[in-house]
Amino acid sequence: MLGTQISVDGGLSLFRAQPLDGLFTLRAVDLAPLHRALGGGAPVLPDGTPARVQGRFFAEPTKLTLTAFSGEIGPNPVQGEISFDFARGGQVAGQLRLGDLHLPTLLATVLPQAGLTTLQGPVSARPFAAPVPPFRPGDLRIEARSLTLAEGLRLAEPKFVLRFAPGLFAIEGLDAGQGDARLGGQITLLREGEGVNLAGRLTFSDLTLPGVAARAEGEIPLTSQGRSLRDLLANLGGAGQMKFEGLTLPAADPAAMSRLFQRPMTELSPIDENRLGGLLDAELQQGPARLPPLSLPITLAGGVLRLSAPPVNAGPVTIQPGFVLDLPRLTYELRLTQRLLALPKGWRGAPPEIALSWTGRAGIPPGEPRRQLSVSALLNGLLAVGLQRDLEMIENFEADQRERSFFLRRSRVEAESERRRVEAEAERRRAEAENERRRAEAEAQRRRAEAENERRRLEAEAERRRAAEQPAPTAAPLNLVPQLSP
């Protein structure tokens, strides 16, 4: 091939198990034409890919082995050992140490892609393109500097066994890093017509969740099928287990509701969602919620991963966390429900509860979480408490009014009785005064009558004495007054 040079330096011995061995050197300005001349296939080499590889080779009648080779293919270093078994159709086996790998390059035997998948929104619903047969089927032990799964998602120092055949792609024994996390497991993709069947198992440790401080480890088996990447994600199913350490959620102080209920009801008025949410949020901002180590079941159905935990005690409340990851839409929601352990005074029904949620985009990079506070259940309970308080105030007022009316009526009766008693006493006194006056008048009249009688007696006595003292009269004088006859 023009621009391609292969040099061999070795010996031939027909009596050895490996009759031909020696050193080889490959130099190519563009390796793509040679790749196509030998049959092409996946991985597809773009035009203009330079190569420089040198090492040792062993040739048998049906097998060629390249060993202890090193060099560069394109911008990436390559070294290792590889063999081609022509008795088995040129099946490939060996181990390679590579530079930077891209997942689309490896997936071409099942679902070729034009480039890296972006994880910044809903994934593509475009049907899978026709698969590209591998250059030769086989399996390789791979160690690489990195493996880029999608834009912004890169695994560091991955180690795995890669198995490939027409319509088949499999990774087994994966061990790789992603930040502080370690990922492992296996995955198999099988092309059947226009669709792809997926089966695998994912393990992880020291994994962080978006929006919270926590370390997670766990394992989940996976199965799916579909004709597009969105179908594969939307049909994902499985069930596993996850453990959390140091789960800390900001601005979720467990003592917030207790402090809120310590306030008088007048401070909470008017009781509406905005007023209550503002007061409670100010209390929640005073500290984080720290949860003990948790072991949670993972359920994956319809491409939606869910984590749910039983309530755990955290001071004056129980906290129940939950997590939902929608893979087709690349969105997540972390939800935290807090319920008071002790019912506040006057509270009726279910214990007071609030719900905090953090929602956002789960792509690469993840979106800024949006925090929301739901107080609807708490609001309804407080409104019921307020209504009960108002009813009790009305009942107390009515009872007070009844008591006041009772005492007022009794006071009026007592006042009327006292008035009648005073009037009767006054009437009695007036009657006594009248009797006394009449008696005095009678006594005075009696005394006057006695005085009059005494006076008359004295006058009569005096008259009698005067008459006794005067001499007896002589003959009566001659009456010269004319007398009229009747």
Please tell me the predicted confidence (pLDDT) of residue 479: 57
Q: Which two tokens stand for residue 37?
A: 């001349």
pLDDT average, residue stretch 216-235: 92
- CA 94, CA 84: separation in Å to the nearest integer? 9
- Kind and range of the H or E run holding 74: none
Q: Is residue 228 part of a domain?
A: no
What band does 472 get if pLDDT is binned at 50, 70 and 90?
low
The domain in which residue 63 lies consists of 1-89
Our CA angle for 234, 237, 240, nearest 5°, is 140
Are 187 and 171 a contacting pair, CB within 8 Å?
Answer: yes
Q: Which two tokens stand for residue 261?
A: 């209920």
Are 355 and 371 a contacting pair, CB within 8 Å?
Answer: no
| Chain centroid, CA 321 distance in Å | 7
Strand ranges in 60-137 using DSSP code E only, listed in sequence order: 63-73, 76-85, 91-102
Q: Is residue 283 part of a domain?
A: yes
Q: Is residue 327 part of a domain?
A: yes
Q: Which of 213, 371, 204, 345 is nearest to 280 (CA)?
A: 371
- Which residues face 101 on adjacent strands? 147
Our CA angle for 107, 112, 117, nearest 5°, is 80
Q: Is residue 469 part of a domain?
A: no
Greatest Cα pair distance, the chain, in angstroms, is 232
Are 57 and 8 a contacting pair, CB within 8 Å?
Answer: yes
Number of domains in the chain: 2
What band does 126 get if pLDDT is binned at 50, 70 and 90?
confident
Q: Which of 249, 252, 335, 316 is nearest to 286 (CA)?
A: 252
- CA 222, CA 171: separation in Å to the nearest integer? 14
pLDDT in tens, 73-89: 988 899 999 999 988 88
Is the full-model pTM beyond 0.85? no
Choosing from 345, 365, 384, the residue where a domain stops is 384
Are 150 and 118 a contacting pair, CB within 8 Å?
Answer: yes
Please tell me the predicted confidence (pLDDT) of residue 42: 78
Q: Is residue 411 part of a domain?
A: no
Which residues have C-beta within 8 Å of that of residue 300, sequence separation ≥ 6? 220, 222, 236, 237, 238, 239, 240, 306
Q: Does the pLDDT at position 484 exceed 80?
A: no
In the block, which residue shows the tokens 């009059």?
452
DSSP designation for 40: -
pLDDT in tens, 6-16: 888 877 666 56
Choosing from 69, 89, 109, the residue where a domain stops is 89
- Which residues face 183 on adjacent strands? 176, 204
What band does 224 get if pLDDT is binned at 50, 70 and 90?
very high
Q: Which long-range contacts (CB under 8 A, 24 or more apart) does 198-205 make?
A: 198/222, 198/223, 198/224, 198/225, 198/232, 198/236, 199/223, 205/181
Q: Does the pLDDT at position 169 exceed 80?
A: yes
The helix, strand and coil proportions of the chain, stated in percent and rounded to the nearest 5, come to 30, 40, 30
**Mean pLDDT lowest for which of 14-23, 33-42, 297-306?**
14-23
What band does 471 get if pLDDT is binned at 50, 70 and 90?
low
Q: Is residue 484 part of a domain?
A: no
Please tell me the predicted confidence (pLDDT) of residue 481: 57
Choosing from 384, 412, 440, the residue where a domain stops is 384
Q: Is residue 83 part of a domain?
A: yes
Taking the CA atoms of the chain, what radius of gyration do you get in angstroms?
58
Q: Does the pLDDT at position 210 exceed 80?
A: no
Q: Does the pLDDT at position 316 exceed 80?
A: yes
Q: Which of 363, 326, 325, 321 is nearest to 338 (CA)?
A: 321
pLDDT in tens, 94-119: 999 999 998 888 888 888 875 556 66
What band does 297 get if pLDDT is binned at 50, 70 and 90?
very high
- CA 463, CA 101: separation in Å to the nearest integer? 175
Q: Which two tokens stand for residue 128?
A: 């899978």
What letter represents residue 386's amino acid?
G
Are 317 and 257 a contacting pair, CB within 8 Å?
Answer: yes
DSSP designation for 365: S
Q: Which two tokens stand for residue 342?
A: 């002790």
What letter represents residue 444's amino acid?
A
Q: Which of 102, 103, 41 is nearest to 74 (CA)?
A: 102
CA-CA-CA-CA torsion sign (416, 420, 425, 426): positive
- CA 377, CA 393: separation in Å to the nearest integer? 24
Q: Is residue 295 part of a domain?
A: yes
In the block, which residue shows the tokens 């107390």?
396
For every residue of 440-454, DSSP letters joined together read HHHHHHHHHHHHHHH
